[in-house]
Structure 1
Amino acid sequence: MKLLVCAMETSSNVHLKELKKYLSNDIELVGVFDKELGNPLYDLTSLAIMGFVDALKKLRFFFKLRDELVELAQDCDKVLLMDSSGFNLPLAKKLRETYPDKEIIYYILPQAWAWKKGRVKKLEKYCSKLCSIIPFESEIYNDKNKITYVGHPLLDEIKEFKNELIPTNKIAFMPGSRKTEITNLMPIFKELIKKIPNKEYILIIPAKFDKEYINKIYGDISNFTISRNAHETLQQSEYAFICSGTATLEAALIGTPFTLSYIAKKLDFFIGKLFVKLNYVGLANIFFEKMGKNPLHSEFLQKDVTLENLLNDYQNMDKKLFFDNSKMLREYLGNGSSQNVAEIIQN
């Protein structure tokens, strides 16, 4: 079988790597994905976009890429689209128009439950099967036969979960992966470690950052131990301070108590508040709200991200309750998604 794949994000390729373990060896991947997984049409580094201006500059290239993928699809049995709705939804439309009977599978759906609900109609119209990683996501879809909750990929990718809370003297710090996130949070984290003495402070830095970039963006980090492995470090740490994002769900599933803190550009935060109608930022808290329960962890946003608030949360959190709830969260998500998605592709 030939499978046309469009996985443009780094995170999508982490999920694709796990998925590939369950695919038959006679399935050939073609299209856009990490070169570690085969022979892609383009290397992922050529697809990276930084900001609106950069997106405009590369617009012609992306139209060309879309047409090339549509042409490639002619010789493929099925199509797998992963995340990146800004590119993959228009691609799905073009594929459906060109090949009305081609099976198009979408895995890691755009978060239409949070904003832009109009994408639901497009997904149902253009795609054959929708693989959901959010238990309540199907509620907003009309065609229940198309959408399936397959589990969550993090339950495949996290290799160890905590069995008990053990003091390890290690505290993890994850200030995000975007420049603005890092430069906003690092000064506060540097002051915070002065208030929590006699610990090992581990700074988790994305593997893609080189030494020059780290020196430029993070500043003096001589008081931190550097780690490039988030899951391993979170598993070893007794507490964590984390910027919003997938990392908060990773820590929640592993069982490491943490505080979420996020400072966005004022305009970005204002626009986000207009369009995203959610009570919480952290995925674990969103899940717990759906379960009818109190939030799993604290969230400090914008001006509330202060040294005092973070320190107070660290000192006063009921860590035993957090740990018990983390096990409940794993039960809620149920299982990993990779094997189920592989079965959908191969059936």
Structure 2
Amino acid sequence: MKLLVCAMEASSNIHLKELKKHLPNSVELYGVFDKELGNPLYDLTSLAIMGIVDALKKIRFFFKLRDELVQLAKDCDKVLLMDSSGFNLPLAKKLRETYPNKEIIYYILPQAWAWKKGRVKKLEAYCSKLCSIIPFESEMYSDKNKISYVGHPLLDEITVFKDEIKQTNKIAFMPGSRKTEITNLMPIFKELIKKIPNKEYILIIPAKFDNEYINKIYGDISDFTISRNAHKSLTEAEYAFVCSGTATLEAALIGTPFTLSYIAKKIDFFIGNLFVKLNYVGLANIFFEKMGRESLHSEFLQENVTVENLFNDYINLDKKLFFENSKILRDYLQNGSSQNVAQIIIN
């Protein structure tokens, strides 16, 4: 089987790597994905964009890429689109117009439950199968034959979950992966560790960052032990301070109590508040709200991200309750998704 794949995000390719383990060797990948997984049309680094200006500069390239993928799909049996709805939804539309009978599978759906609900109708119109990783997501879709909850990929990728509360003397810090996130949070984290003495401070840095970039963006990090393995470090840590994002769900699933903190540009935060109508930003908290439960962890945003607030949360968080709730969260998400998505592709 020839499978056209469009996976443009680093996180999507982590999920794709797990998925590929469950596909037979006879399935050949074509399109856009990490070069570790085959021979893509383009290296992922050439697709990275930072902000609106960069996106506008590359718009002609992305139109060209869309047309190349549509042409490539002619000789492929099926199509797998992953995340990146800004590109993949228009691509799905073009593919459906060009090949009315082609099977198009969308895995890691756009978060229409958070904003841009109009994408639901487009997904149902353009795609054959919709693979949801959010248990409540299917409530928004009218065609129940197309959408199915397949599980969550993090339950494939996290290999160790805590079975008891341990004092390890290690505290993990995850200031994010974007430049603005890191430069906003690192000064606060550097002050925070002064209030929590006699610990090993583990700074988790994305593997893609080289030393030159680290020195430029992070500044003096001599008080920290550097880690490039988030799951391992979160498992070893007794507590974590985490920037908003997938990392918060990783910590929650592993069972490491943490505090969420996030500082965005004021204009971005203002615009986000206009369009995204959610009570929480952390996925674990969103899931717990859907279950009718109290929030799993604290969230500090914008001017509320202070050394004092983070320290008080570290001192006062009910770590035993957090640990018990992490097990409830794992039960809620049920299982990993890779094997189920592989079966949908094969069948």
Q: Take 1:273 and 1:284, find their aligned partners in 2: how far apart are those partners?
A: 19
Specify the alignment match of 2:155 in structure 1: 155
Question: 2:137 & 2:14 partners in 1: Cα distance?
Answer: 22
CA distance in 1, matches of 2:253, 2:155: 8
Tell me, in whole angstroms, the C-alpha distance in 2 between the residues paired with 1:246 and 1:118.
24
**Correspondence 1:293 to 2:293:** yes
Instruction: Pick which of 207-216 and 126-135 moved more.
Output: 207-216
- Cα distance in 2, alignment partners of residues 50 and 316 from structure 1: 38
CA distance in 1, matches of 2:40, 2:294: 45
The equivalent residue for 2:87 is 87
Deviations 1:158-189 (A, max 9, x none): 01000101100000000000111111100000
Partner residue in 2 for 1:31? 31
CA deviation map 1:301-321 (0-9, x unaligned): 001101110000000100000
Question: Partners of 2:252 and 2:236 in 1: how far apart?
Answer: 14
Q: Which residue of 2 aligns with 1:332?
A: 332
Question: Partners of 1:268 and 1:47 in 2: how far apart?
Answer: 22
CA positional deviation for 1:298: 0.2
The 1-side partners of 2:304 and 2:37 are apart by 43
Q: How far apart, CA to CA, are the structure 2 residues paired with 1:228 and 1:272?
A: 30
Please give the residue correspondences for 1:85-234 in structure 2 after superposition, counting only pairs within 5 Å. Answer: 85-234=85-234
Post-superposition shift, 1:227?
0.2
| Cα distance in 1, alignment partners of residues 50 and 296 from structure 2 | 33
Which residue of structure 1 aligns with residue 282 of structure 2? 282
Cα deviation for residue 294 of structure 1 reads 0.1
Structure 1 SS opposite 2:6: strand
Matched residue type, 1:7: A
Query: What letter is aligned with 1:302?
Result: Q
TM-score relative to the length of structure 1: 1.00
SS at match of 2:226: strand
* Amino acid aligned to 2:137: E
Aligned partner of 2:240 in structure 1 is 240
**Aligned residue-pair number:** 347
1:14 aligns with: 14
* Alpha-carbon offset, residue 50 of structure 1: 1.2
One-letter code aligned to 1:53: V
Give the Cα–Cα distance (whole angstroms) in 2 for the partners of residues 246 and 142 of structure 1: 28
Equivalent position of 2:322 in the other structure: 322
2:264 match: 264
- Aligned partner of 1:42 in structure 2 is 42
AA of the residue aligned to 2:263: I
Pairs within 5 Å for 1:300-315: 300-315=300-315
Deviations 1:189-228 (A, max 9, x none): 0000000000000000001111111111100000000000
Give the Cα separation in 2 of the matches to 1:27 and 1:174.
Answer: 37
Cα distance between partner residues in 2 of 1:142 and 1:155: 27
Q: Distance in 1 between matches of 2:11 and 2:113?
A: 20
Distance 1:281 1:67 in 2: 36
Give CA deviations for 1:38-89 in whole Å, capped at 9, x if unaligned.
0111111111111111111111111010000000000000000000000000
Q: How is 1:54-69 mapped onto 2 (pairs within 5 angstroms)? A: 54-69=54-69
Moved >4 Å (runs of 4+): none
Q: Percentage identity across aligned positions?
A: 86
Q: Which amino acid aligns with 1:278?
A: L
SS at match of 1:176: coil
1:321 is paired with a residue whose SS is: helix
Q: Aligned with 2:106: secondary structure?
A: strand
Cα RMSD (Å): 0.4
State TM-score, norm by structure 2.
Answer: 1.00
* 1:282-337 deviation per Cα after TM superposition (whole angstroms, max 9, x unaligned): 00000000000000000000011011100000001000000000000000000000
What SS class does the counterpart of residue 201 from structure 1 fall into? strand
Question: Match for 2:60: what amino acid?
Answer: R
- The one-letter amino acid of 1:134's match is I
1:81-114 C-alpha deviation (Å, 9 max, x unpaired): 0000000000000000000000000000000000
SS in 2 for 1:209: coil
Please list every run of 5 or more consecutive structure 1 residues that lacks an aligned counterpart in the other structure.
none
